[in-house]
Structure 1
């Protein structure tokens, strides 16, 4: 799948939103990719994750398992792992920090982190930090869409099914047209 085909799946799902959005990173953007609207369609999710799995295989990277950050990475992590034929685990927030709560991980396990959408790479870095503290070897990060078009620091090499550069601004540096629209926070990070 190329970038246009990936974005078409988001458009068909009503998941490419325009307005004023507060991203999980705290940055503001005129575009939000509401992946939940894609993930509610198993056939569309399978199409994207099967293509991501193929792209991962092309790299020749060797790994034992997939680990994803909850909540957003759970579905694409599972579905991509299914196409790769490896187990899918996840980290989840407890007390504000990621933990691998439900699983054991042997030191030296080669891990591929699978994300939904990368903007700044923060969730990836936090996931990698958690896994490395357990002795895992994180070999790469993979995602459906890289909103930074290669600029984000994920803490490991990034494999993206599509790059889609979308502007993002600190809240004190908004362009006037964005500042004129009330912001919406559609993501899940920091929900009470």
Structure 2
């Protein structure tokens, strides 16, 4: 899948939203990528996961023991990527604000982990999830995502393999342009605050 294919999947599923959004990162944008909508169709989710996995170098794929993703946004794509790789797919939760494994999930000591996200903007959630995997005894060897919204600037501390990059501008709270500020804010992400 190339950029136009992925954008087409988002448009066809009504997953590319326009308005004024406060992202999970705390930044504002006139565009929101609602990955839950693009992934709600199992066949589409499978196509996207297969494309994401194809973008990961073979040597990295061969080293993966388990797939881990942060809840909520990463669960569906993480599960699909686990299916493509033939690996278990676990997810981290943060009911008290800090990511950790629950529901009986556990990592074997030294497990080589592929972190999976839907969209990465600033990388804050990814870095928090990577740190949680370390606390749980695993080692994140790479991260993949459907979308990189950072314009290629994000540093996760591990190799990052996004399927495509969308360069929709984002703004800090005090940088929001007047035209965007005039639109009521929607906060569709999973992070409180």
Q: Same fold (TM over 0.5)?
A: yes
TM superposition shift of 1:19: 1.0
What secondary structure is seen at the aligned counterpart in 2 of 1:29? Answer: strand
Task: Specify every segment of 5 or more residues in structure 1 that has no aligned partner in the other structure, as ranges.
Answer: none
Pairwise CA RMSD of aligned residues? 1.2
**Do the aligned partners of 2:147 and 2:165 also contact (CA within 8 Å) in 1?**
yes
1:160 equivalent to 2:159? Answer no
| Cα distance in 1 between the residues matched to 2:95 and 2:155 | 24
What secondary structure is seen at the aligned counterpart in 1 of 2:18? Answer: strand
Partner of 2:47: 47
TM-score (norm 1): 0.95
TM superposition shift of 1:104: 1.6
Partner of 2:94: 93
Partner of 2:187: 185
Superposed CA deviations along residues 8-35 of structure 1, whole A, max 9, x for unmatched, are 1001111111111000011000110011
Superposed CA deviations along residues 67-120 of structure 1, whole A, max 9, x for unmatched, are 000111000000011001111011101311001112121111000001111011
| Cα distance in 2 between the residues matched to 1:124 and 1:41 | 25
1:3 equivalent to 2:33? Answer no
Superposed CA deviations along residues 116-142 of structure 1, whole A, max 9, x for unmatched, are 110111111011101111221110010
**Do the aligned partners of 1:116 and 1:144 also contact (CA within 8 Å) in 2?**
yes
TM superposition shift of 1:43: 1.2
TM-score (norm 2): 0.94
TM superposition shift of 1:59: 4.3
Match of 1:107 among 85, 106, 109: 109
Name the stretch that deviates more: 80-89 or 180-189.
Answer: 180-189
Partner of 2:152: 150
Task: Specify every segment of 5 or more residues in structure 2 that has no aligned partner in the other structure, as ranges.
Answer: none
Number of aligned residues? 190
Superposed CA deviations along residues 38-82 of structure 1, whole A, max 9, x for unmatched, are 1211111111011111222x3421110000001110000000110
TM superposition shift of 1:154: 2.1
Structure 1: 4+ residue segments shifted above 2 A: none
TM superposition shift of 1:190: 1.3
TM superposition shift of 1:149: 2.4
What secondary structure is seen at the aligned counterpart in 1 of 2:47? Answer: helix
1:77 equivalent to 2:78? Answer yes
